[in-house]
Chains A and B, each alone.
Chain A
Amino acid sequence: MVPPDGVILEQLSEALELKLRDDFDRALDAVDPGELLEHATLTQTAVDRGVFGLDALFVVGDELFDYEFRPEQGLGNALAGRLGTEAGPRHAPNLRRVHGGELGGPDSHNCSTCHSKGGLDGAGHNTQNAFLRGDGDSTRSADIRNPPHVLGLGPVEALAREMTLELQSIRDRALKTAAESGKPVEAVLAAKGVSFGSITALPGGALDTKKVEGVDPDLVVKPFGWKGHQATIRGMVEESFRIHLGIVSTADQSRLRDGKLDAKDLGDGPWYDPDRDGVALEVDEGMLTTLTAYLAQLEAPIVKPPQTPDLADAFARGRALFDRAGCASCHRPFLGLENVVLELRPTDPEYADRPPIRVNVAEDGEQPKIEPQNGRRTAYNVHLLSDLKRHDMGPGLATPKPQRGIPPAVFLTRPLWGLAFAAPYLHDGRAPTVDDAIRLHGGEAAQARDAYTALATEDRAALQVFLLSQTRQPKVQIP
């Protein structure tokens, strides 16, 4: 349904204002280079003064997300070697399409160009895949990752935090009981109804984590990255800056100085310029804060069922089949969220004592948002279609290498919200259609896959119609 003119007019004027501001800033930057980044930057000190509201962080973060970094601002590094496409002596950021080990690319100038499919802050296409942990040249040597869309990250981080708290409090209770009773205590781990195996607390305060499932032994649910290796939006932003743009945060510099970080991931230069590109201040902590606050405030995906009677019918059948085939056991249709306030804290030890920024992920920023459960104001349902747990997907999907100790075949259940505009599917984008993606499931999902392939053709179609209704609110943009 095309929205009424009033709504369209509102969307139009919002988009226009954004565009005018963008063009204007670019013109200022043309006259006075650096102006644009200045506009797109709030220092952590400025943020801490508290004069900037969430709105301001959103606006500035939006500009930063799209900002094209330049070598003189720290883009790239002097360590990437010159194997890649930019061989030669000319002024270039040493771009490297295939990453060289943990040091990364750089393979990008900015954030937005890999998160653009289906609109601003969307997903990435096959061509935008990242080739991680490779030898710097051979695409076959690399661990391929398709850029996911970045909508609804605020609620997801909030969910993960609550789940972590739930799991850790089970662990702490078990430790307490074990200490009191002097006997080992095995406790069943579950958070928001998702089982994470069990943990055994020993009387001496030690833990046996052999039976912990789908989460690291620290019981921190990490909902970001295809394998679920990052717990926070901020961590993801910081890592992406480093490996995709060759831009090192001051927080990483501090960690390096204090010996808390393995130097080889960042380069062999001094702590204040580990990538030896001659730029010391590349990302101020405030930039991370701004981008994190921006991402946490983005809209949530929506469900948009088809409008014609037959397709709507297929949607309804597909929804039921999704449960019956067993898809829903990992792709949980929703998880309940109690605390919608996300506290975002700087990670640089220099700023450890600064006050957090509080984002209400059900209200602040862009519409639409997650919706309250049955009109109650206290609890929300996040329809993300994931259990935020890691599962074994079988050898067919296994990556060439483990990632941060996560085995090759293990992945986080991909949240399926927003799936309609986010083709191609799977971690490396190998599946052009939903059907291809389902058929490529293996391991723990083998049974659900078999149930799907055993369905009648029109039932498989119905299930896909249901999934392809997971999309985002159509909005006017001025590119």
Chain B
Amino acid sequence: MSTDLQTLLQEAEELAFDIDSSYVKAWKEKTGGLAIGYLPIYVPRELLHAQGCLPVGVLGAGDNLEIIRGDAYYQSYICHLPRSVIELGLTGRLDCMDGMLFPAICDVIRNLSGMWKMMAPEKLSRYLDVPQNFDPETGGLFYRHELEELSADLVKLGARPLTDEALRASIEVYNRHRVAVQSLYRLRQDEPWKVPSSELYLILRAGVILPVEEHLEMMASYEAAVRADTTRKPMDQARVLLTGSFCEQPPLGLIKTLERSGCYIVDDDLIQVHRWILSSIPTEGDPLDNLVQAFLSDTIDSPTRYIDDGVKGAELVQRVKDSRAEGLLFCAPSFCDPALLDQPMAVTAVEKAGIPWTSFLFSENTGQFQVIREQAGTFADSIKLWS
């Protein structure tokens, strides 16, 4: 792993947009292990890691692949991510995946899991259902059963059986990973000029491809490099929180555009798998129960998760306060049901709290940012001059 900042960022970018799965193929050749792809937002990577598998985030092809056959699978009012995942699959770019997990995000991803079963009947294709009832005796038991079934499926593929000892070790390494991610987020909150979001995004996106141990090294190298870089000086930018981009990811150009138009992104929903579980998971006791319990009671308040009407948006307001953001950018993918159905309730909460906001839509392959640039630029101006 390189320690030079520019080389490090170049490595991260190559990994982040490795649509040909070159890294995964090389890893499999080197280790003989199984690669398990997963869609956003969250899968329990600790479990896959404990069974010797490489969890690989499948975040779509962004603006790096022309969609030719993927469009035939979805209506025009469906988001872009599943089209590019289909395209990646049909062009053989995901053939190296021994299995694919489709976590419960929305109906579109559920349908994608069904399509995948038909497209690749010989491969493991599993819809990972997650509880919306957070009572340990109900949702907890259900989720544990899901994880046990997943674990058994992996064994059938050739993975090693799950042991408490291995799972504890995996939880421990992912706990360190959570701490490292939080450290970068805190550094960005305190000194956003040192950690541009366009860089942090690349570093985090590389982390859904790399094995966790290597990604820990990458994050440590990046943090050390930016802390030591004295050429990065503060600028007068508006501090904003970017929300809504938890599933389909915005193109890198959009993040750069927002920063160039005068915004410091001090918190976001990007690559949420790294931050889904909020704090360290205990390693004592039954580790599988601990994994389940963390999912039930210690996660981000995502739109894909059931939240009572009364508190919808409250967590977002709290995040604005915690990150000392001066405004909020609702930046959701076009046709993203979870993000856009929640937005009115979130807007009600942020307006009640007196937080300035604006909203716009994107697709992972959006190539023109002029309108967003104008909108974000004038929003930043209004915060700097009139808030």
A and B pair up: no
* A interface residue numbers (CB < 8 A to B): none
